[in-house]
Amino acid sequence: MSFKIAYEYDENKVFVRDNIVFPTIIYITDDGKEFNDIVSANDHQKELFPLQAVEIEYENDSENLKEGVESEIKKETIYMEAVDVPEIKTKEIFILPENCTWEIVPSPSNDAKWDVKKKKWTNGETPEMVPPAPSETELLAQDNADQLMQIAEVEFKMEQTNQDNADILMLIAEVM
């Protein structure tokens, strides 16, 4: 089922909350009349396309015939529903609740206000956002992590230098 979101504002036109709005279903018959419930729409549609009288002929060869008669042709009239009755159409209508708008609120945290004349939201005062300062412990932990990283880099370079020295000694040993 489909839905829309309506944005509610209070008496000061400040955003309050968003609401989910479900549609009202309208049933439309072939002659264009609209009904709120399917039963009334079906009843009206049947009035537009009444039962049709159909005459049928059939051969009656039952045991209930008069003596000496093998069969007889009977005619009966039966009533059938119309064959080409169109489907009832449906239409969804979204009803906007009171003190609401379909326009999306730019940032509810800024106390957005609804401007009735312009038909749009305007932001209120932006709340002051102060980033949290790290504590002394966090600063020391970060400093310690930086120093450990520098030590690891120096050890890696020393290991590379030792490997290069070993390679040079192997070349010298081969030459001699």
* Cβ pair 35, 49 in contact under 8 A: no
Spacing of C-alpha 169 from chain mean position: 72
| Tokens matching residue 10 | 């209070």
pTM equals 0.48
Q: Which residues contact 101 (CB under 8 A, 6 or more apart)?
A: 6, 7, 9, 114, 119
Mean pLDDT, the chain, rounded, equals 83
* Cβ pair 24, 3 in contact under 8 A: no
Q: Please report, in tens digits, the pLDDT of each residue of the chain (176 residues total).
A: 688 888 888 888 888 888 888 999 999 998 888 999 999 998 888 888 887 888 888 776 666 666 656 666 778 888 888 777 788 899 999 888 888 888 887 766 667 787 878 888 777 665 566 677 788 888 888 889 999 999 999 999 999 999 999 999 999 988 87
- Rounded Cα distance, 51 and 79, in Å: 6
